[in-house]
Chain A
Amino acid sequence: MPALVMEGVRKVYRSGSEEVVALDHADLVVGDDEMVTLLGPSGSGKTTLLSIAGGLLTPTEGRVVVGDQVVSDLDPRQLTAFRQRQVGFVFQSVNLVPFLTARENLTVVGELAGRPRRETGEQADRLLEELGLSHRAGNLATELSGGERQRVAIGRALMNDPKLVLVDEPTSALDTKMGEAVMELLRNEITGRGIAAVVVTHDTRMTHYTDRTVEIVDGRLQA
């Protein structure tokens, strides 16, 4: 079963009398262990596509399926539960909780889902270890470097054992070397675990970390 299926997805933003078609006739299938790069210029609809796939936005038209869940049919309340259990996000602006430590930024996801403390604690420790952050576990988010924060954000996205991880411009705020290290880590965390990923970027140098690249221009996916 594919991790993500999008069929004929269209998204129109309305602001006042103006209409912006951010996404049009988008068809995309991502396999259950596949890592896909979504490449496109600024304003092409990359973030919009990611938001719709992750249940943050509802499409104007079309069908979105994640695992066995038809996301496009869910109401806001069900979407909240869906995000809590099925997808992991890595945001472009990272958005860690500033007054929590690196470790707590991971465990908070488990707490929100009402999982047992011990279980989330162990999982957080394991992820921090894999991400090479064990020695920074007790530092507040504000005390971490940009690369460290990005790695914590990756760990946070994996905390709920998602089927699908959605990553928005993970390297844009980092220098090339750090960016490559983060992509490498992401790749290692995701492959072989039955997790699919869509990684948005406009940096062509990052595409070789993923299995496949899909291009998007003016809201349309190019085969």
Chain B
Amino acid sequence: MSLAWRELVRRPGRFAVAGSALTLLVVLLLLLGGLLDGLYLGSTGAIRAQRADVFVYSATARDSIVRSRIEPDLRARIEEVDGVASTGGLGVALLGATVEGDDDVLDVAVTGYELAPEGVPEPPAPGTAYADDRLRADGVRAGDVLEVGPARVPVEVVDFVSDTSYLQQGALWVEPDTWRAIQSESRPDAAVADGVFQVVLVVAEDGVEAGELADRIDEATGGATSSLTRDEAVLSLPGIRQQNSVFTALIGVTLFVAGLVAALFFALVTLERTALYATLKALGAPSGRLALGVVFQSVVVALGAVVLGGAVTFALEQVIPDAVPVQVEPSRVVTSSVLVLVTAAVGALVSLRRIVRIDPATAIS
């Protein structure tokens, strides 16, 4: 092992090409991961924050919150289902808003709610809202009055909450009637009557499994509803599944390329070292030990690439415009790093066969 280490230290230039290529791939990997996380977290915050176990949509809505409508009598039937502890209505309107006296249009998700989500207090007074941090980043301050939608309905921001965006728009948490008023004024074609919500959130009784309760509710309403667990509701948001699969595929391909780089580079290095390895084998070095040295070097080079790539990504994150939803999460950095190291080790192991086949007798001839 010290042989492998000394070569790294004394001939760092040899490993520079592979190191740089791996560094770039690490940056790519972290940016892809950051983009995936940024898109996912920024799209799903308002839903992930909900404490409810089951989301009930109208059957015709095809699991879309904005298309769904639940009338009061349907809600009453839901509440009677065995295993339902409590329910709360939810409605979302995606609109533009301006701070009074300012021209910049901000994207907001006006969200009327009854059950307080994680990190959000009980519904505020009519005409006021808790705003998501995303709006604070856009320059909104507590006490500002936002004019929402084409009808410029005034809503005063009383406080801020975090990680509750909806499809990259900052949520404005309001009490249900404020939401209904804004929805009806802004979208007369999709107006909602008193007591109507888009979806009904259901809290299950202790010990009742969410998926089972969802099935039971849909049965009890005679197919008038389509119920999802919270995780399913998150994945049913527009584009989430597609985003996840596209980015997972891209990340997979990037890792594969990283493995290929390590495999090719160290296969080449091994070829170059044929005479050296023959000599060492003649002196009694087992093949396994030599291969371990190669794996060690590959992992060290990858480790350098992870550190350097991490630093580059961190620097890039500072200069990437806020409009690009890149969010590099520590957990993502850790898993990506581990995956790169493992990939580098596996890539280097490809050279094991070649090392085993080097004939020590060639050292002497």
Given A56-B360, A80-B284, A95-B279, does the pair A112, B365 have CB atoms closer than 8 Å? no
* B114: min CB distance to chain A, Å: 71
Are A112 and B285 in contact, with the CB atoms below 8 A? yes
B319 at interface, CB cutoff 8 A: no
Chain A residues with CB under 8 Å of B364's CB are: 47, 50-51, 54, 56, 89, 91-92, 168
Q: Are B363 and A80 in contact (CB under 8 A)?
A: no
B284–A81 CB distance below 8 A: yes
Per-residue A-contact encoding for B346-365, CB less than 8 Å = 1, 0 else: 00000000000000110111
What's the Cα separation between A80 and B280 when bound, in Å? 10
Residues of chain B within 8 A (CB-CB) of A98 are 276
Cα separation A84 to B286 with both chains bound (whole Å): 9
Number of interface residues of A (CB under 8 A): 31
**A108 to B10 CA separation, bound complex (whole angstroms):** 16
Cβ–Cβ < 8 Å partners of A140 in chain B: 10
Chain A residue numbers with a CB within 8 Å of B2 are 111
Chain B contacts of A156 at CB under 8 A? 283
Question: Which residues of A sit under 8 angstroms from B279, Cβ to Cβ?
Answer: 91, 95, 97
In the bound complex, residues from chain B placing their C-beta under 8 Å from that of A81 are: 284
Q: Are B286 and A80 in contact (CB under 8 A)?
A: yes
Query: Would you call B62 an interface residue if the criterion is a C-beta within 8 Å of the partner chain's C-beta atoms?
Result: no
Most buried by A among B7, B11, B276, B363: B363
- Point out the residues of chain A lying under 8 angstroms from B7, CB to CB: 99
A 120-139 contacts with B by CB, 8 A: none
Q: In the complex the two chains form, what is the Cα distance from A50 to B364 in whole Å?
A: 9
Total chain B interface residues with beta-carbon distance under 8 A: 22
B6 touches A85 (CB 8 A): no
B363 touching A95, Cβ below 8 Å: yes
A residues less than 8 Å from B363 (CB atoms): 56, 89, 91, 95
Interface residue B292 (Cβ < 8 Å from any Cβ of A): no
Q: Is the CB of A99 within 8 A of B361?
A: no
Bound-state CA distance A113–B280 (Å) is 11
A83 to B279, CA, bound (A): 11
A77 and B289 CA atoms in complex are apart in Å by 13
**Shortest distance from the beta carbon of A61 to any chain B beta carbon, whole Å:** 18
Q: In the bound complex, do residue A83 and residue B282 qualify as a contact, i.e. CB atoms below 8 Å apart?
A: yes
Q: In the complex, A92 Cα to B364 Cα: how many Å?
A: 7
Please encode chain B, from 63 to 106, with 1 for each CB lying within 8 Å of some chain A CB and 0 for all others.
00000000000000000000000000000000000000000000
Bound Cα distance A95, B364 (Å):
9
For the complex, give the distance between the alpha carbons of A56 and B365 in Å: 11
B275 within 8 A of A: yes
Q: Mark B285-303, 1 if CB is under 8 A from A, else 0.
A: 1100100000000000000
B365: chain A residues within 8 A (beta carbon): 47, 51
A85 to B2, CA, bound (A): 20
User: Per a CB cutoff under 8 Å, which of B6, B275, B284 touches A83?
Assistant: B284
Q: Is B284 in contact with A99, judged by CB distance below 8 angstroms?
A: no
For the complex, is A104 an interface residue (Cβ under 8 Å from B)? yes
- Give Cα A57 to B360, complex, Å: 9
Residue B281 at the A interface, CB < 8 A? yes
Q: Check if A100 is an interface residue, CB within 8 A of chain B.
A: yes
Collect the chain B residues with CB atoms within 8 Å of residue A100's CB: 3, 6
B16 → chain A, closest Cβ, in Å?
15
A199 contacts B by Cβ under 8 Å: no
Q: Which of B310-365 contact A (CB under 8 A)?
A: 360-361, 363-365
Which residues of B from 2 to 57 have beta carbons under 8 Å from A? 2-3, 6-7, 10-11
Q: Which of B6, B275, B276, B284 contacts A112 (CB 8 A)?
A: B284
Give Cα distance in the complex from A48 to B3, angstroms: 30
Residue in A50, A57, A84, A99 whose beta carbon sits within 8 Å of that of B283 in the complex: A84
Residues of A within 8 A of B281 (CB): 80
| Bound-state Cα–Cα, A111 to B363, Å | 19
Contact residues of B between 178 and 230, Cβ < 8 Å to A: none
Q: Which residues does chain A contribute within 8 Å of B11, judged by CB atoms?
A: 99
| B3 and A83 contact, CB distance less than 8 A | no
Q: Taking the nearest CB of chain A, how far is it from the CB of B289, in angstroms?
A: 7
Contact check, B286 vs A57: say whether CB atoms are below 8 A apart.
Answer: no
- Whether the pair A111, B284 counts as a contact (CB closer than 8 A) is no
Those of A89-119 within 8 Å (CB) of chain B: 89, 91-92, 95, 97-100, 104, 108-109, 111-113
Q: How distant is B365 from chain A, measured CB to nearest CB, in Å?
A: 6
Asked whether B6 lies within 8 Å of A104 as measured between CB atoms, the reply is: yes
* Nearest B-chain residue to A88, judged by Cβ: B283
Selected from B283, B286, B361, the residue in CB contact (under 8 A) with A51 is B361
Known: A56-B364, A97-B280. 10 other contacts (CB 8 A): A51-B361, A77-B286, A83-B284, A91-B279, A91-B282, A92-B364, A98-B276, A99-B7, A111-B3, A112-B285
17 pairs across A/B with beta carbons < 8 Å?
A50-B364, A57-B361, A80-B285, A80-B286, A82-B284, A84-B284, A89-B363, A91-B363, A95-B279, A97-B3, A97-B279, A98-B276, A104-B6, A108-B280, A112-B284, A140-B10, A160-B284
Q: Which 8 A-B pairs have the closest CB atoms?
A: A84-B284, A95-B279, A56-B361, A83-B284, A112-B285, A99-B10, A57-B361, A99-B7
